[in-house]
Amino acid sequence: MEPLRNPYLKSLEHRGFVQGVTLTDRTTNAPWCHYFGGLRYALPPTKRWRKAQRLPPSYSYGSKDHPGQCAGETGVCPQPSFPGLSLGDNWSEDCFQCNVWVPTGEPPKDGWPVLVFIHGGFLQFGTPNTFSAGALLGEAAFNAIIVMPAYRLGVFGFLYSSELEHDAATVSEPVGNQGFWDQRLALEWTRDNISLFGGNPSQITISGYSAGAYSVFYQLSYDIHLPEDQSIIKQACIWSNSPVAQPKAPSSAQTQFNELLSALNIPHTLSWVDKLAQLRSIPGSKLLSAATSLEINQFRPTTDSLFIHPTIFQSLDNGNIGRRIAARNIRIMLGECRDEGALYATWYPPQNDHSSLYKRLLADYPTPLVDTLMKLYCPDGKLPSGCRDWNCDAFGRIYADMQVYNMQRGLVHSLVLGGAAHLLYRYRIEHRLKCADETIPPEWGVTHATDQYIWWWGNGSVLQADEKSMIKSAFIEPLTKFVHGESDIGWGTKSHREMRKLRSDGSVEIWQDGLWDEAIRVWKALRAVGEQGNGPIAKL
pLDDT of amino acid 537? 33
Q: In angstroms, rounded to a whole number, what is the distance separating the alpha carbons of residues 187 and 116?
A: 8
Q: Which residue, among 157, 145, 153, has the nearest Cα to 116 in the 3D structure?
A: 145
The answer to whether the CB of 53 falls within 8 A of the CB of 66 is no
Does the pLDDT of residue 506 top 50, yes or no? Answer: yes
Average pLDDT value for residue range 9-29: 96
pLDDT of amino acid 88? 56
pLDDT of amino acid 87? 56
Helix, strand, coil shares of the chain, percent, nearest 5, are 40, 20, 45
Q: What is the pLDDT of residues 320-355, one digit of tens each?
A: 999 999 999 999 999 999 999 999 999 889 999 999
Which H/E stretch holds residue 200?
Answer: strand 199-209
Average pLDDT value for residue range 503-525: 97
Q: How many CB atoms lie within 10 A of CB 332?
A: 22
* Mean pLDDT, the chain, integer: 95
Q: Which residue, among 421, 410, 416, has the nearest Cα to 516 in the 3D structure?
A: 410
Q: What is the pLDDT of residues 412-453, one digit of tens each?
A: 999 999 999 999 999 999 999 999 999 999 999 999 999 999
168 Cβ contact list (under 8 Å, min separation 6): 50, 51, 174, 175
The answer to whether the CB of 20 falls within 8 A of the CB of 8 is yes
Cα–Cα distances (Å) from 494 to 330, 474, 512, in that order, read: 17, 17, 10
Lowest mean pLDDT segment, chosen from 127-131, 278-282, 520-524, 527-531: 527-531
Does the pLDDT of residue 366 top 90, yes or no? Answer: no
The 3 state secondary structure assigned to 64-130 is: CCCCEECECCCCCCCCCCECCECCCCCCCCCCCEEEEEEECCCCCCCCEEEEEEECCCCCCCCCHHH
Q: What is the pLDDT of residues 52-101, one digit of tens each?
A: 999 999 999 999 999 999 999 999 999 998 765 555 567 999 999 999 99
Catalytic: which of 161, 210, 240, 315? 210
Triad 54, 60, 66: Cα angle to 5°: 145
Coil, helix or strand for 443?
A: helix
Does the pLDDT of residue 535 top 50, yes or no? Answer: no
Average pLDDT value for residue range 28-49: 97
Does the pLDDT of residue 48 top 90, yes or no? Answer: yes
- DSSP class of residue 393 equals I
Q: In angstroms, rounded to a whole number, what is the distance separating the alpha carbons of residues 284 and 50?
A: 15
Average pLDDT value for residue range 226-238: 97
Burial of 348: CB neighbours in 10 Å, binned 0-12, 13-18, 19+? middle
Pairing of strands 53-54, 42-43: antiparallel
Please give the backbone phi and psi of residue 538, each rounded to the nearest 5 degrees, phi first: -55, 130
| HSE (side-chain half, CA atoms, 13 Å) at 258 | 9
Does the pLDDT of residue 536 top 70, yes or no? Answer: no
Coil, helix or strand for 23?
A: strand
Looking at beta carbons, which pairs linking 72-75 to residues 24 or more positions away fall under 8 Å?
72/37, 72/38, 73/37, 73/38, 73/99, 73/127, 73/129, 74/37, 74/38, 74/98, 74/99, 74/127, 74/128, 74/129, 74/148, 74/149, 74/150, 75/38, 75/150
Strands (E) across 278-373 are located at 331-337
Q: How many CB atoms lie within 10 A of CB 14?
A: 11
Question: pLDDT tier at 530 (50, 70, 90 boundaries)?
Answer: low
pLDDT of amino acid 160? 98
210 annotated active-site: yes
CATH class of 2-244+305-344+399-515: alpha beta
Share of the chain above pLDDT 90, in %: 93
Question: pLDDT tier at 538 (50, 70, 90 boundaries)?
Answer: very low
Coil, helix or strand for 504?
A: coil
